[in-house]
Structure 1
Amino acid sequence: MRNAEPRLKFIKPMEPVLVLEPPLSDDWLHEIKYDGFRVQLILDWAGARAFTRNGHDWSKRFWPVVAAAEKLKAKSFILDGEMIAPEPDGRPNFHAMHSRMSWNAELLAFVAFDILYLDGADLRVLPAVERKALLWDLVKPAKGIIQYSQHVEGGGAEFHAAADAMGLEGMVSKRRASPYRAGKTDAWVKVKCWDVSDFDLWGIKRQAGAETRALMGRDGRYAGSAALPKGLRERLWQRVKAGKSPPGLPQGVPQGVPNAIAGDDVEWLQPGLVGTVRTLRGEPKLRHATLQGFREKE
């Protein structure tokens, strides 16, 4: 006989706000920022399901995790977490996600970092630190395909430094007393680590009343822009006055520079310059980036 109770529904996830420095007070929990797909696991009387951050049912793609969720000792729950493709050392490999979803889903893992509902009780009003204790009781020892996101309390700067040294994307910090509220909120913040790497330096964008930016590319594609410190700006401007490319994009640069970027206020440089850029790790394009220096391409 079919159960008369309605099935549990997907809940819009809580989203962290990006900040550039970790919170320093002791009323924050700090966790690794896992590089994967945000997933919500739901178990009710009809079985388990897995939903993406936008509420799409991807249970078939994540079937081994869904099967493992049905073995947890609870009648119903809603778990929030990240689906990752872990390497042997446990670090997530985002580039392996798609191939594992298609061919080796049993090599995925779900890292649970919050619990919203358990056996008839809505837990969202509880403090984050209490929700995590209930989550641990449910998923422990959490060494298999369903894992647990460990946290530390306080010491945000030290935690961020450790994540950076390990080559991780960043960290997420949560106020220990915060309830779970859908959407973006500053009760959760994400702090990314920084990368310093080389890009092709294509041009300079100067706008009245706006910051001067260096336009960068990589492998023939537009990668974004970087802030241009005053000393470097003056050196680059001397190069522009000494001779620049004809109007339009430098020869050999393909499509990909947005129309809003490639305007009359851009001075395109002669090809052959490499710029060293400091930028947030794990972003598809340069973000909060700053040009550190430039040199001739070898």
Structure 2
Amino acid sequence: MTKPPRSKPLLRDTEPPIRSKPRQKRNPAQPQLLFDPMPDRVEPALAQLKAKPPTGNEWSWEVKWDGYRLAVHIEPRGIRILTRGGHDWTHRFPAIEQAARALGPATMIIVGEAVVLDEEGRPDFGLLQQSLGASGRQAGGRASDAVLYAFDLIYFDGHDLRGLEYRSRRHLLEDMLNGPMNGQPDAIRLSETLDAEPAVLLEHVCRLGLEGIVGKHLDRSYRSGRTGDWVKVKCIQSEAFFVIGYEKSAASPAGFGSLVLAAYRGADLVHVGSVGTGFRQAEIIRLRTMLDKLRWKRKQPPLPYSGSADIVWVEPTLIAEIEFRAWTTDGKLRHPSYKGLRERQDNADVFRLD
């Protein structure tokens, strides 16, 4: 018996046709073009952090993948893989590039999250960073084993889809990735929607050791920035902080005891505590080498500090992704654990205190 389709096809004869957006002014360099020119880059839509998921049938839920946001541009001239900050990292994701070629010849922009999976099939941010080279400065830096979990389609076959509601874009994405002609390339996979109450889903994904869930409003168009159309609920809080120093370690003279962290408050940096767990030994040595090249050359530390620890201050350049359970009453991270370095090229957001 043939298994019924997971979701209804977008286009049926009995349904009203999809109307195109009003035509905008054409690119002067393409005066005869009949369709929407593919944008060179689209500023990403971002999810707002929520303490608990909203309820209602107007939300679609999926796993929150722990990796790098990418936009894959499939064009007649070739493939471009752009980071959230707009940098071209095509050469750093060769398997995703190859899978994207198999989806042609139609032109499209697929939005998704690049991850590296551990032996149990869970995304591991540390493994992704090892593949890329932690700060982008190592030779090579290719995540050949990375997988893109696609969750949106914002341009397809000459049409800009950003004006369509999310449910329509999602149906097109599902039909394109699961179509009988294309199949689904192994390095580009559909980020499956999860059919259950969001509170139950959150409990389940947390039990599996995943990062959380993301909800997308089915009736909203694609809008860049944190508009509230997309929301995220995390099992464990995870944010990016500046590394502003390290505490020395008597047990490991070539390493350190902990990294000192800072966040923004307005335009100023504020000390939010230290992290001393989550490091592999090789990562400690590598980080110490990087930090010693960034030593603070001024007499005063880079921010107000009232502690008593012996700290070697550094220029606030490196950005670390840190997991933590909560905040203490004095504004410090509770039970922090190091996950890896974020890359400035990926437009990593340093956490801002309210």
Query: TM-score if structure 1 supplies the norm length?
Result: 0.66
Match of 1:238 in 2: none
1:38 is paired with a residue whose SS is strand
Q: How far did 1:142 drift?
A: 3.3
* Counterpart selection for 2:61 from 18, 27, 30: 30
Q: Which has the larger radius of gyration?
A: 1
Q: How far did 1:128 drift?
A: 1.1
Match of 1:77 in 2: 108
1:131 is paired with a residue whose SS is helix
2:80 is paired with a residue whose SS is strand
Whole-Å Cα distance in 2 between the matches of residues 189 and 22 of structure 1? Answer: 8
Residue by residue, what CA displacement relative to the aligned partner does 1:145-190 show, whole Å, maximum 9, x if unpaired? 1111011356111111111111111111111111111111101011
1:98 is paired with a residue whose SS is helix
Q: How far did 1:99 drift?
A: 2.6
Change (3 A) 1:103 1:181: closer
Q: Which amino acid aligns with 1:138?
A: M
- How many pairs are equivalent? 228
* Counterpart selection for 1:96 from 127, 135, 139: 127
* Counterpart selection for 2:158 from 112, 120, 123: 120
Q: Which amino acid aligns with 2:95?
A: P
Whole-Å Cα distance in 1 between the matches of residues 217 and 167 of structure 2? Answer: 8
* Counterpart selection for 2:197 from 148, 155, 158: 155
* Counterpart selection for 1:146 from 188, 210, 221: 188
Percent identity of paired positions between Structure 1 and Structure 2: 31
Whole-Å Cα distance in 1 between the matches of residues 196 and 58 of structure 2? Answer: 6
After TM superposition, list the pairs within 5 Å mapping 1:209-248 onto structure 2: 216-219=273-276, 248=306
| RMSD (Å) for aligned C-alpha atoms | 3.4
Match of 2:49 in 1: 18
Q: Which amino acid aligns with 1:109?
A: V
Residue by residue, what CA displacement relative to the aligned partner does 1:56-95 show, whole Å, maximum 9, x if unpaired? 1111111221121011144200011111111233211100
* Counterpart selection for 1:59 from 75, 82, 90: 90
Say whether 1:107 aligns with 2:145. Answer: yes
Q: Which has the higher strand share?
A: 1
1:135 is paired with a residue whose SS is helix
Change (3 A) 1:65 1:28: same
Query: TM-score if structure 2 supplies the norm length?
Result: 0.57
Whole-Å Cα distance in 1 between the matches of residues 123 and 324 of structure 2? Answer: 21
Q: Which amino acid aligns with 2:307?
A: L
Change (3 A) 1:13 1:103: closer
Say whether 1:132 aligns with 2:190. Answer: no
Contact 2:76/2:105, CA 8 A, preserved across alignment: no
Change (3 A) 1:62 1:100: same
Contact 2:69/2:114, CA 8 A, preserved across alignment: yes
1:186 is paired with a residue whose SS is coil
Q: How far did 1:25 drift?
A: 1.5
Structure 2, unmatched stretches of 5+, are 1-29, 133-139, 238-257, 259-271, 278-304, 335-354
Q: How far did 1:290 drift?
A: 4.8
1:70 is paired with a residue whose SS is helix
Contact 1:84/1:108, CA 8 A, preserved across alignment: yes
Contact 1:125/1:179, CA 8 A, preserved across alignment: yes
Whole-Å Cα distance in 2 between the matches of residues 92 and 123 of structure 1? Answer: 29
Say whether 1:249 aligns with 2:307. Answer: yes
Change (3 A) 1:124 1:251: closer
Structure 1, unmatched stretches of 5+, are 201-214, 221-246, 259-281
Contact 2:167/2:219, CA 8 A, preserved across alignment: yes
Say whether 1:50 aligns with 2:81. Answer: yes
After TM superposition, list the pairs within 5 Å mapping 1:169-180 onto structure 2: 169-180=211-222
Match of 1:184 in 2: 226
1:178 is paired with a residue whose SS is coil
Q: How far did 1:122 drift?
A: 1.4
Q: Which amino acid aligns with 2:208?
A: M
1:92 is paired with a residue whose SS is coil
